[in-house]
Structure 1
């Protein structure tokens, strides 16, 4: 059994299969999940687990070279905007509809129980060397 890190077997396995340039969408409970990407649905009930908890856990295990979020997060969810700005100084912002289009090309979608709007980010995997 793993000692630490992500314990969810489906999520841990999906992370192990990611490569440079692959997309990972971390999303709130309301984000439409496109057909195609592998989905790990962690949502249990409203707010559990939170977007922040899941994002922090993923960032502890992933190398990320870029991130894209919906521009609407700035006005609709100051907490998520601050979290994203803190983690990703070069954060790219696009209209929410564009983020939904881009998410169809993700390799992995991790759905949280987050119940605040626009708590979504599309991560682009980097390499550790």
Structure 2
């Protein structure tokens, strides 16, 4: 059994399969998930686990070179916007409809129980060297 880090076996396994340039969508409970990407659904109840908890856990495990979020997050969800600005390097903001289109190219989707709007980010994996 793992001592620390992400304990969810499906999520830990999916993270181990990621490579440079792969996309990981971390999303709220309401984000439409396209067919194609592998999905690890962590949602339990509204707000549990939160977007912030899941994003922080993923960022502790992954090398991220950039990310994309919806520009609407800045007004609709300032807490999520602040978290993204502080934690995601090279953050690009696009209209929500464009973000939804981009998610089709994600390799992995991690759905949270977040119940506040626009708490979504498409992370782009980097390399550790």
Interval of TM-score (by shorter of Structure 1 and Structure 2): over 0.9
Query: In 2, Cα distance between the equivalents of 1:93 and 1:64?
Result: 16
| TM-aligned CA deviation for residue 90 of structure 1 | 2.5
Query: In 2, Cα distance between the equivalents of 1:89 and 1:6?
Result: 22
Q: Tell me if 1:36 matches 2:39.
A: no
CA deviations 1:52-76 (Å, max 9, x no partner) are 0000000000000010000000010
Match of 2:50 in 1: 50
Residues 87, 59 of structure 1: alpha-carbon distance in 2 compared, 3 angstrom cutoff: same
Indicate if the aligned counterparts of 2:65 and 2:90 stay in contact, CA closer than 8 A: no
| TM-aligned CA deviation for residue 89 of structure 1 | 4.8
Matches within 5 A, 1:4-15: 4-15=4-15
Gap regions ≥5 residues in structure 1:
none
Q: How many positions carry a matched residue from both structures?
A: 129
Indicate if the aligned counterparts of 2:64 and 2:126 stay in contact, CA closer than 8 A: yes
Query: In 2, Cα distance between the equivalents of 1:89 and 1:15?
Result: 19
Gap regions ≥5 residues in structure 2:
none
Residues 97, 63 of structure 1: alpha-carbon distance in 2 compared, 3 angstrom cutoff: same
Q: Tell me if 1:17 matches 2:10.
A: no
CA deviations 1:9-31 (Å, max 9, x no partner) are 00000000000000000000000
Matches within 5 A, 1:87-102: 87-102=87-102
SS in 1 for 2:12: helix
Q: Tell me if 1:124 matches 2:115.
A: no
Q: Tell me if 1:66 matches 2:61.
A: no
Segments of 4+ moved more than 6 angstroms? none
After TM superposition, the score normalised by the length of structure 2 is 0.99
